[in-house]
Structure 1
């Protein structure tokens, strides 16, 4: 009897997401097909709402909302509690996934050119899953009216930082000088670099710069065994992210994604720690 039961079990490896979608497509499509259903679920993710609150949030009448509320109640996603509407335990499972998808689509659409024109595969898969955290960002570009917009933004970032964590596979004398000035001002700087960049830094003119910072104990450089195809600087207040042009080996120095949002900064710090944890200190002959 036990063998028979086991033979009837179907493992997740044998079921594809397409099979699941096909079986439950009506339920899945119901939420995303309706603006009001999606808006109400996301709104209730932040707490109980009255019918009046939902009218204000959605810009819809009670007459339009009530049938949708009944639909969500029938699906056991929301319920009435002391005159307000709240998420049910099932709703609290579903709503964060809807909100995550909404935010993800928002960040991809808001800066669509940045994401489509650059190599995002250089960002670890686990970080790409959280890319919605970068929604509150702006793209800074070098333009004819300001051909040093990206570099100037980088200098301001360093000047206003209390500490700096960076990951990079490129370096220029100008960027190195700016970073050295930050170190000399007593700010804590940690830099994770690619193996190729490490070979560059231990040769002149960069080796001379490194020797001049030997007494600066809050300055550390690490070499990542994992390929690095991005340039990122995160501080206590700002995130700057640059990427390689898609399909090339050329880093795009003319465009950066910038954010002063705490959520984006936390994303950048997690990316830094991803590389930092697998890296080893740079060894060079002083």
Structure 2
């Protein structure tokens, strides 16, 4: 983008907000004033600056983007979304993003409306009621987990029995640990007609991803490798599409356990050994 256009767009928050608004559809001056909550004296000079720069044109009482304006908005919107995301919370700056493929990092702004769910210190090892209710209310569920979550397995099975589609991806270490402690329950889950279990290699830098018709929960490891049991929650359609793509990314790199017999090669002989060898249990 030309430097002079960058100046036009980003020197004024009102101008950038107006461009993004017109990127949705053409608007009258009254609609612009109401939606952006501005006075005529505040917004008219910004409209003039945008029309002088050939980004906006007025036709039959409506302001709309020119062809150039549409191209500028395509480039500006992702950047504005990312800036909005980073302004809301330092979560994304303080956590390891390497578990997210670059093409989805480039669209991290799709999660701009996220809300951070953090456990109270006294509840860090207990499942949060908010998350349990979120999972339990789902009609379909996709879960990736690289740490041991035994408390959720009965919920996944209950959803499966109720006819919900449930897809679960575990790392090899977590699968072995789960089989060591809950083999019968996990095999019952796998043998249901509407459930799927996948296993992927260890070392994934994504802590947890939960996607349902209700929204999505994303949990990352901190930059120092620790896990703090916090989740970013989003429920808008953009965020859901982003999360589904992330799940499919890991699903395409995982192996399907077709039934309970497919688990036979996975075993965990000692819970203590697992905890001492796994980097996934480095807790705050």
TM-score normalized with structure 1 length: 0.80
Q: Deviations over 1:108-164 (max 9, x none)?
A: 22122x223321221111111222221222111111576577532221122101111
Give 1:209's aligned residue: 185
**Unpaired runs of at least 5, structure 2:** 266-284
Alignment of structure 1 residues 2-151 onto 2, 5 Å: 24-112=2-90, 114-144=91-121, 151=128
Give 1:5's aligned residue: none
8 Å contact 2:8–2:50 — kept in the other structure? no
8 Å contact 1:150–1:256 — kept in the other structure? no
Aligned length: 260
Give 1:3's aligned residue: none
Greater Cα radius of gyration, structure 1 or 2: 1
8 Å contact 1:141–1:150 — kept in the other structure? no
**Unpaired runs of at least 5, structure 1:** 1-20
Give 1:262's aligned residue: 237
Give 1:12's aligned residue: none
Name whichever of 220-229 and 160-169 sits farther off. Answer: 220-229
Alignment of 1:184 onto 2:161: yes
Q: Deviations over 1:16-41 (max 9, x none)?
A: xxxxx7xx433322320123321221
Give 1:279's aligned residue: 254
CA distance 1:43–1:212, change in 2 (3 Å): closer
Give 1:164's aligned residue: 141
Which of the numbers 182, 200, 204 marks the counterpart of 1:228? 204
Give 1:16's aligned residue: none
Give 1:251's aligned residue: 227
Stretches of 4+ aligned residues off by more than 6 angstroms: none
Q: Deviations over 1:26-77 (max 9, x none)?
A: 3322320123321221221122222333333444444444443332222211
CA distance 1:226–1:197, change in 2 (3 Å): closer
CA distance in 2, matches of 1:226, 1:144: 28
Q: Deviations over 1:215-251 (max 9, x none)?
A: 4121211123585222011111121111112222x33
Give 2:282's aligned residue: none
TM-score normalized with structure 2 length: 0.81
Give 2:280's aligned residue: none
Name the SS of the counterpart of 2:141 in structure 1.
Answer: strand
